Structures are given as C-alpha cells and as structure tokens.
A and B are shown apart, each in its own frame.
Chain A
C-alpha cells in the first residue's frame, strides 16, 4: 500500500483563539516497501502527520480549510481518507501504530492477553481460541520472545526491552501492511536500540511491507532509512535518501535538528582538510576513511 498526501493541512483548536496550525499544505508520498524516516523538531508537525495515517486525526477539518482548487488528498492503498465512508476499522488493521514508550500501554494480566487484545479487537467476527493462540504465538516469536516462557507472565515483570517487544507484538498481531512507530528506540541502551532496529528490519522483510519511523535519533535514520522527510514548522522541507540528505548537515543543524555521528565526523574531518564522500552509514564511512589511509598508521 502506497501512502499519498497532497495539500494536507491541519489546525488544532480551529475557530478558537488557541488555533495552532500544525500542518501547512504538505505533500508527501511513501512508496510500498520503504523504511521511511520522519525527522523534525518538537512541534514540527510530524506526529500530527502520522496520526492522520490511520485516521486518529480525521481529515474533514483539514478538508474544509483546504483551498477549493487544491483539494486535500490522503490515500493509504485503497483507502481514501478524505471520504466519510472510509472503513476506519479496516484501515487500522492495515496501519499498525506504535506510540512512544509503548510499554506504558501494556495493561493485561498476562502477556498473552495483552497481545491477543489487538487481534480480537480487529477481528471481523469472534475468533476461535486456537486461531488467537496461533496469531499471538507468531507475533511474540516474531519480536524475538519465547512464547512458552512469556505467555503466562505478567507484562509488568518483564525487562524494559522485553516490555517494548510485547507492546510491538500487540500491534503487529493483526499483520498490518504498514507499521508506523513513534521513537521506537527511545530510552533504550545501545544494545536495546540495536535490537529494536534489527527487529524493524526483520518485520519489513517478511511481516509488514512498509515501516514508517518518527525519530530524533539521526544515527538510526542514517543507518536504516530508504527516504527521510524533514518536517519544520508544519511543512515538509525535504524528502531525500539519507545519503543525499546529510550533505545538508548545516541546514539541518540550523533547523535545530541533530545530525548523525558519521555526518559530524565528516564535518570535523573537512575542517582538517579531508573530504569523505560516504552514504553516512557507519560501514560506508569506515570504508571511505580507510581508503584514504596513509602509510603512517
């Protein structure tokens, strides 16, 4: 499923003195199969945008405000989100949304019940017990947990990293085609971060088709994404692959954004008269640096 947004605007508290324009006529396409990164400062509109993707924020308010000659468009695969007839329940089964610190949303007495909730909630009719069990098992194993070991445990007895996996399992259990995650690795130690990113890659390969990640962690973005959209002041400033985005490091810094470690090193080396032309992944950076290695070391 392809995501297409055109002339999308959104204002919070419209028609009130507190009206805040969060999205200002943005257009953006996310192709099926992408590992799409969204970056931007707090208040840049990135969360507002992703909340449109499964209809948490509805379009009508934005529609009314769109200019007549440039009507707002928002489609996710076959779903036309500008239509009032859209089956949002079906949409939400296809667009899984993992919020920030998803482990805070665990609620059930057992891991099994927690993961099963999403499956039952989205089922067309009440599913058979063994069907639920099969889906829960698959989802838990997919996120790297031992089904037999964790299914009867309280989610609150798990470690932080495990809790996050359970929360992700609870979203992917409906086999969504698109998985949207807000800061999936925030608050984890370096190893936990690495594991979550590896998990997302695995999911994109054979579970979901498209992964959309909102992140402040530029290293993750540089390392993983196929395209990156830069949000600022309710607009999309750029949509580029990381290799073409991070040469604009100074511009990103001026938008108050961080840049990946590799980009910082590239800038620091440039100051010392050394040009490294890399795609900003650690692997490529190291390769290009080594290619310039002299005899001395």
Chain B
C-alpha cells in the first residue's frame, strides 16, 4: 500500500543567498500515523510541511501523497487531501463569523450547500466548538481560534493534516486544547497527522517523533526514545522540559518511571516505585 506521505530524495533551497539547504531527504509517513516533527528555528520543519502540499516545490526529488506525485497540475486535488494549519491564530481567519470561516474552504471547492452545512457541523463538533457556530471569530481566545482554523481544514475532509507550529503562539492551556483535539481526530477519524512543534512535551502523544536540524532528519524514534537521548537533543538546540529532565535523572539512577509530564502523574509513578 502506498504511504500517506513520502519524500523521495528531496532537495530544496530558498535560493543562493539563503544558508538553508535540504539535501536528498528521504522520509515517509504511514496512513493513520501521528508523527511529531521537532526542531529548532530554521531546522527545516516548516519547509517539510510546505513541501507536502505544493506550497513549495522541491528542486530535486519528489513528494508523493498516497502514491501520487505532487505536481503543479494536481495541486488542487492534493490540497484537498493535505490540510495545513499555520502558526498565527489571528491571520488564518477569512470571515468574521465562525461558521462562515469554517465554510470557506468547502465553498471554495464547490460543494453543494446542504453538504457544506453538514460538514460545518461535523467539523465544529470535532473540535468542540459547536456552541460557537455563530460567534465572532475575533472575540475568541487564541486556542479557540486555532480550533476554528482546524475545523476549516477538517471541513474539507483531508486525509492528512499538518499542524505547522499551530500551538506556538498559545498559552499552555491553549496548546493542550489543540494537541488533544488533534489526537482525538487521529484516533477517531483516522486522519494522518504531522505535528510540527518545538515544544518537546507535545511529542509524547505521538506514535513517532523525528528531530530535524539544518534541513536533515537527525533523530527518528518513539517519543520515549527521543526523550531518553536528552543530552543529544541539546546539540540540536532543543531541550527537554524540566520534568522530562527529572524523569531522565530518575531513570539514570535506576528508577524506571515512564515519561510523564504531569506533576501528579509523575508523583504517582514515583510512589509506586517506593512502596
């Protein structure tokens, strides 16, 4: 079976003047996977996202979505399958009312009216915003705005969803909201998710995590596996959240607590080991 997303020998640069280079990158994502892409600023994670639906075109190699190579000709179809949610909650809304905003993409591809209605309902329910259907977008919190942005993408029923630092501008609570919504969509709807972030803790919900540095994929493992190599992460300008560091040190001292990033959860694990 074809992979959901496949980068074959992809090379890319932003022109001569840019120091950034991606060279011969090979990477693939299976259908239904939930993959975290971690990396510091400038590591190439957003480039990876934008290559997936033809916002950027590789200089060499190719990107395939469910076996179909992304070309200028099939962009329209590819983008219905690959939806991207971006970083800034304030720059993605196109309408002032929530339901109009969610409908925009679906209207744009020419769906019949009744179906659009159903899809809005589905999408808003999926992100837990059904009560805000007629609310004003500008009055929502950052986390709510990002959920509306996700709903707008969902209304197109994409098979792959990419969150390009979609939580970066949110507070911890807003971040949790988004990651939980996406996790749920992955589980219930089987949507393949690429979660691009520099918050290490978000990776723990994923089935696989990759770390990028200077346009290369430098680590690929389960989230636990990545966390275990905490010191190596520093060389890629990433650091574990403090509680992850405590887990690592306890484990190094022979107390095999699982990686848990909640205070109570970790205390529970420690207590188990002690009693």
Residues on A with C-beta less than 8 A from B80 are: none
Residues on B with C-beta less than 8 A from A273 are: 271
Contact indicator per residue, chain A 35-62, by CB within 8 Å of chain B (1) or not (0)? 0000000000000000000000000000
B242 touches A297 (CB 8 A): no
State the main secondary structure of chain B at its contact with A: helix
Q: How far is the CB of B39 from chain A (nearest CB, A)?
A: 12
Shortest Cβ distance from B42 into A: residue: A159
Q: How far is the CB of B170 from chain A (nearest CB, A)?
A: 14
Tell me the A253-277 residues at the B interface (CB within 8 Å): 261-262, 264-265, 268-269, 271-274
Q: How far is the CB of B237 from chain A (nearest CB, A)?
A: 6
B250 touches A274 (CB 8 A): no
Q: How far is the CB of A274 from chain B (nearest CB, A)?
A: 6
A289 touches B255 (CB 8 A): yes
Residues on B with C-beta less than 8 A from A129 are: none
Q: How far is the CA of A269 from the CA of B267 in the complex (A)?
A: 5
Q: How far is the CA of A242 from the CA of B51 in the complex (A)?
A: 50
B residues contacting the other copy or chain, number (CB 8 A): 32
B234 touches A191 (CB 8 A): yes
Interface contact tally, CB-CB below 8 A? 78
A residues contacting the other copy or chain, number (CB 8 A): 28
Tell whether A19 is near chain B: CB-to-CB under 8 Å.
Answer: no
Tell whether B240 is near chain A: CB-to-CB under 8 Å.
Answer: yes
Contact of A261 among B40, B253, B263 (CB under 8 A): B263
Residues on B with C-beta less than 8 A from A271 are: 267
Tell me the A96-114 residues at the B interface (CB within 8 Å): none
Give residues in B with beta carbon < 8 Å to A: 40-41, 198, 200, 234, 237-243, 245-246, 249-250, 253-257, 263-264, 266-268, 270-275
Give residues in A with beta carbon < 8 Å to B: 159, 189-191, 194, 219, 261-262, 264-265, 268-269, 271-274, 282-283, 285-287, 289-290, 292-294, 296-297
Known: A273-B271, A286-B250. 14 other contacts (CB 8 A): A190-B240, A191-B40, A191-B234, A191-B237, A219-B242, A265-B266, A265-B267, A269-B270, A269-B271, A282-B246, A282-B249, A289-B270, A293-B253, A294-B275
